[in-house]
C-alpha cells in the first residue's frame, strides 16, 4: 500500500497484493493518502472539496480478494463523477 500522484486527480491511495494494483480513493475526496494496513484494516486520511482533512479506517470484509475488487470498482466509479 502507498500513494501516487497524477495530474488529473492529485493523490491516490493504492494497494498491491503481489499481482495486481487497486486504487483506493475515498468517495468524494480530492486527495487520499493510505498510511497502513494490518490484516483486513486500512487507515489513512483524505481531503474533501472544502479543503478539510479527515481520517478514515476501513475494514475489508471477507472474502478479502473479492471485496478489494468491489471496493476498487466503487471508488473508481465515484472518481469519474
pLDDT tens string 22-61: 888 888 888 899 988 888 888 999 999 899 999 999 887 6
Residue 70 has pLDDT above 70, yes or no: no
25 close to 33: Cβ distance less than 8 angstroms: no
37 close to 1: Cβ distance less than 8 angstroms: yes
Q: Which helix (H) or strand (E) holds 24?
A: strand 21-24
Residue 3 has pLDDT above 60, yes or no: yes
53-to-14, 22, 35, 44, 64 alpha-carbon distances in Å: 18, 22, 14, 10, 27
Is the pTM here over 0.85, yes or no? no
C-alpha cell at 46: 483524505
Amino acid at each position: 500500500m502507498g500513494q501516487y500522484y497524477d495530474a488529473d486527480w492529485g493523490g491516490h491511495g493504492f494497494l498491491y497484493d503481489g499481482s495486481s494494483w487497486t486504487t483506493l480513493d475515498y468517495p468524494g475526496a480530492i486527495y487520499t493518502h493510505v498510511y497502513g494496513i494490518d490484516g483486513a484494516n486500512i487507515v489513512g486520511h483524505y481531503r474533501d472539496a472544502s479543503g478539510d482533512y479527515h481520517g478514515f479506517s476501513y475494514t475489508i470484509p471477507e472474502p478479502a480478494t473479492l471485496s478489494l475488487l468491489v471496493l476498487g470498482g466503487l471508488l473508481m466509479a465515484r472518481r469519474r463523477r
